[in-house]
Structure 1
């Protein structure tokens, strides 16, 4: 079978390896799609020979261990697992869920959806109709926007430096969109805006609590985006950090965060059993139309294993309307 391995920074090759054997308690899955994740861009860009990537997969059960219940050859499945850029992977039944008949293969890569659902549930509205701000409108930010709409948030403010990303944000439920340089001053509580006592929002005199937002989600994965998201939180508000900051250290004005008494939430998840349950929940939400987050990867951004390096370059450059990329095996 084909398997992708990295040969150095920004370089990969496809090699032939044996189809893996499974135990009586495992599944062998023929991979249909593996998702490209921006969290793996930096590991790709700095790779050592022999490194492997891929943690977002869906496919079809090819073989079932004799002790496994609930799965059959031919079932479409998705779930959690690593090293997914290959033709066949071994999956653990406890980390594997069925794909509903009315969910397309391209939409059924559950791992990033589970990450989104986990993050959004950590930042629920206090009251139906509350406003929320999202900084960073790539695939994950768009998913957060669409979930926040389904969760009952009212005004959803989206911020991104790319105009195309803001157009996408409107499509998935944002009610206001801004580039960082056009963001209204009263949407930020900073040392500068605190010096403007005549600053108003909706006719109310500015204070620490009605400038900025009580709920802000960051999905930029950049230092500038993280700093801006922190600026947008009002006093005693909450900042959810959903971006994956794995390329370098971050410098933030923690004095400002301290003064504003904000709560910060790491929106990532490491409880595997919990996240596997969310994979199943995500499939249900898509199947019932409760979370209409579909059609993100078009044919221009579906790649072969041999095109993996190109795929990462286009992911970073947002080439041709790139939102989500998939590798088809």
Structure 2
């Protein structure tokens, strides 16, 4: 073999009984290190990770806040993982070694993570080789179900990231007219490809209200889903919701208190729904339905996975998640 013509990847040796994991050692500083390989408890399974999605909820711990203690636990806050079961606890009978799963775990920025056997779903052969960050896909399904969208509704979706784009697809499948609102031109293009009927730039508050008013003959929208997690779009969402309509809070509001126009919400008689789930059983139901939705073509997340990084490059991935440059929608760490 002519070695001059072969570009071999750099190999990182891992000691027996250890695994490679990302550790946020300090704000905006990630170290890749060897840590002890976790062993599953009696009711747990160990998963050899194939990949893990990056979630916007990771941004505060990456940026740094006074309430976080560093270093963060190895693999944390990765929670969008999928992979192959490689070890099971003595009481586990529901899953076998070698089965491919998506799971609710919390330290998935690592080669392995453990999960309770009742906190995972099996992935069918039809999805073999396909990335499946089950937690955010299940989250989209659960938010859609809480939104109670019917055929003929006009639905405004504010914030077209990964979640917003999936909700555009689901709302269109339900027979709704979809108005997509986003700051980024790239995101509006994605929304259009996902089936949105109308595209509006998130820029001028009052102009947006007038545009939506004109598009709905002055009635506004039966359903409005706020996906940004920011104060201004949350207040704008109230303005865009029709009388007796439903305002669904899907954005993760994690950076402090909110001032909102409760008078408007009262006057219009809005139902305001916080669509974040905390019951693991509901999470799993959403994840299982997401499998079925992908198989049936109700959602197609594949074009939304825009960037893939090796674990060694996770610091770059976090920076991109924070900056959200043109072309960025969803990043995956793959192993």
Task: State if a TM-score over 0.5 links the two structures.
Answer: yes
2:85 touches 2:100 (CA, 8 Å); kept in 1?
Answer: yes
Alignment partners' CA distance in 2, 1:222 and 1:70: 41
1:100 touches 1:287 (CA, 8 Å); kept in 2?
Answer: no
Q: 1:15 aligns to what?
A: 33
The Cα shift of 1:104 comes to: 5.2
The Cα shift of 1:256 comes to: 2.0
2:212 pairs, out of 165, 168, 187, with 187
Q: 1:48 aligns to what?
A: 69
Q: Does 1:169 align with 2:191?
A: yes
2:209 touches 2:240 (CA, 8 Å); kept in 1?
Answer: no
Q: Does 1:136 align with 2:144?
A: no
Q: 2:5 aligns to what?
A: none
Alignment partners' CA distance in 2, 1:324 and 1:109: 11
Q: Deviation per CA, 1:231-261, whole angstroms, max 9, x where unpaired?
A: 1112221100000010222222222222222
- The two structures have a TM-score, normalised by structure 1, of 0.88
Name the SS for the 2:171 alignment partner.
helix
2:153 touches 2:221 (CA, 8 Å); kept in 1?
Answer: no
2:110 pairs, out of 53, 63, 86, with 86
Alignment partners' CA distance in 2, 1:309 and 1:231: 39
Q: Deviation per CA, 1:117-173, whole angstroms, max 9, x where unpaired?
A: 111101122x422211101001111011111112232x1000011111000001111
- The two structures have a TM-score, normalised by structure 2, of 0.87
Name the SS for the 1:295 alignment partner.
helix
Deviates more, 1:215-224 or 1:64-73: 64-73
Q: 1:297 aligns to what?
A: 305
The Cα shift of 1:67 comes to: 2.5
Q: 2:229 aligns to what?
A: 221
Q: Does 1:159 align with 2:197?
A: no
The Cα shift of 1:6 comes to: 1.3
Alignment partners' CA distance in 1, 2:188 and 2:97: 42
Q: Deviation per CA, 1:271-305, whole angstroms, max 9, x where unpaired?
A: 1112112211211221222323323214xx21122
Alignment partners' CA distance in 1, 2:286 and 2:194: 21
Name the SS for the 1:111 alignment partner.
helix
Aligned residues: 308
- Structure 1 residue runs of 5 or longer lacking an equivalent are 189-199
Name the SS for the 2:303 alignment partner.
coil
Alignment partners' CA distance in 2, 1:103 and 1:213: 36
Alignment partners' CA distance in 2, 1:41 and 1:76: 29
Deviates more, 1:288-297 or 1:140-149: 288-297
Alignment partners' CA distance in 1, 2:126 and 2:303: 13
Q: 1:322 aligns to what?
A: 328
* 1:201–1:82 distance in 2 versus 1, CA, 3 Å: closer
Q: Does 1:57 align with 2:81?
A: yes
Name the SS for the 1:303 alignment partner.
strand
Q: Deviation per CA, 1:26-63, whole angstroms, max 9, x where unpaired?
A: 21110110110001111211153121311110011111
Q: After superposition, where does 1:110-149 map in structure 2 within 5 Å?
A: 110-125=134-149, 127-149=150-172
